[in-house]
Homo-oligomer: A and B are copies of this chain.
Amino acid sequence: MTKAPVGILGATGMVGQRFIQLLESHPWFEITWLAASERSAGRTYADAANWKLATPLPANIASLIVSGAAPAQCTSPPPRMIFAALDSHAAAEIEPAYVAAGCIVISNSSALRMNPHVPLLIPEVNPDHLALLNQQASRTLNGGYIITNPNCSATGLAISLAPLHRAFGVERVFVATMQAVSGAGYPGVASLDILGNVIPFIAGEEEKLETEIQKMLGSMRDGEIEPAPITVSAHCNRVPVEDGHTESVSIKLSTPATKEDVIAAWQAFRGGSRHLHLPSAPAQPIIYTELPDRPQPRLDIYAGRGMSTVIGRLRPCNLFDWKFTVLSHNTIRGAAGAAILNAELLKAKGLLA
C-alpha cells in the first residue's frame, strides 16, 4: 500500500514536533510537506526547529525545506491532507484558506472547534459527528473540509464520561485540572513562574473545557449537533509537570450506578470505531487502576503509547454521585495523537478520497 502524503502546518512547535515523532513509522501516512512561520520558511527543518523531544529527529524530516504557513507563501504545493498545529489566531485565518484550496485540514486548534459545521471529534466517542461534513459548503465545491480534535484538557475527560453518559446519563461535572507545561507550547511557561509553584489560571481553558464536553457528547439530530445537557464547571491550574494533565472529577448521573457498574462501563468501553482497527487506537481507550494513589503523570502517561486514558480513585462524592481522577497525555492523546487518530478514521471511512 502506498502511504498517503500528509503535511504539517505549524511544524516547528511542540505539537508539530509530536506529529513528526508519532508519524515516523506510520503505516498509512507519510510526511512530505512542512510549513511554519515566516522565520522558518526556506530553511531545512533541522535548522528551523528547536527539537525538544527525547527521541531523535527523523533524518528524512531533518532535511525537508520548511514552507511558509499561509497558502500564498507556500514554496511547494501542499498535499491533500494537512495536520494543523497553529495557535488559534493564526488558525482562524490560515486553516480556512487551505480548506478553500481543497485541502482536508485535521486541526488541533481551538479556532473552529465550536463552529456548528465542524466535527469536534474523538473516534471512540463521537464518530457519528462526521455527518457534519455534509454541512461544510466548501466540501461540496472542491473537496476541502476541516475536522478538529478537542482541547488537551477536554480529551481525557470526554473519554472518561462517554461510556458513563451512554449507560447512565451524566448531568453535572465538576473538574479541577492540574495541567502540564507542555500544553502551553514552547517557550510557553517561564521556569520562574512554575518551578515549585502552581498557577491557578490558563487563559480561555475553563470555557473550552465546559463547552467542548457538551458538543462532543451531544447527539446528531437533523444533521446538526444537539449539545448534551451536561453542566460542567471547570477549575484549570498549571503545575510543574512536563507532560500529562491530571484531573479531579465529581459527577452526577441520571440513573444510579454502583462502583462496579461504573468501572465495568469504563473497562468495557472500546468506542464506536473499534471495528475499524485504526493504527493509533489504543487496545483499551480507558484503563482503570485499583492502586490507591494512581494515576500519576510520571508513571502512567505512556499507557497505550500515550493514547489510553487512565482513571483511578473511584469513590463516592458527598455532593454528587462519584468522584475520580483522570489522566491523559496532553500532547499525544490531547493533541498530535488525537489528530492522527482522527485522520485514520477519515481514511478508514473512505473520506480522504
Give me the interface of A with B, judged by CB distance under 8 Å.
Answer: 14, 52-56, 172, 174, 176, 178, 181-182, 186-201, 210, 231-233, 235, 237, 239-242, 246, 248, 250, 292-303, 312-313, 317-320, 323, 325
Contact = CB atoms under 8 A, between A and B. Distances in A.
Contacts of A297: 196-198
Nearest to A201: B293
A195 B191 contact: yes
30 contacts: A14-B192, A52-B192, A52-B193, A54-B300, A54-B301, A54-B302, A55-B302, A56-B303, A174-B174, A178-B237, A178-B239, A186-B190, A190-B190, A191-B240, A192-B242, A195-B195, A195-B196, A196-B241, A196-B297, A196-B298, A197-B297, A200-B296, A231-B318, A233-B318, A233-B319, A233-B320, A233-B323, A235-B248, A237-B248, A240-B240
Top 9 closest pairs, chain A to chain B, by CB = A176-B176, A235-B248, A187-B190, A201-B293, A197-B298, A200-B325, A176-B248, A233-B318, A233-B319
Given A172-B319, A299-B54, A192 B182 contact: yes
A250 B303 CA distance: 32
- Kindly report how many copies of this chain are found in the complex they form together: 4
B191 A190 contact: yes
Contacts of A178: 178, 198, 237, 239
A318 to B, nearest CB: 4
A282 to B, nearest CB: 13
Contacts of A301: 54
A199 B240 contact: no
Contacts of A199: 293, 296
A313 B198 contact: no
A239 B180 CA distance: 12
A196 B193 contact: no
Contacts of A196: 195-196, 240-242, 297-298
B181 A188 contact: no
A288 to B, nearest CB: 14
Nearest to A187: B190
A188 B192 CA distance: 8
A181 B201 contact: no
Nearest to A248: B235
A323 B317 CA distance: 18
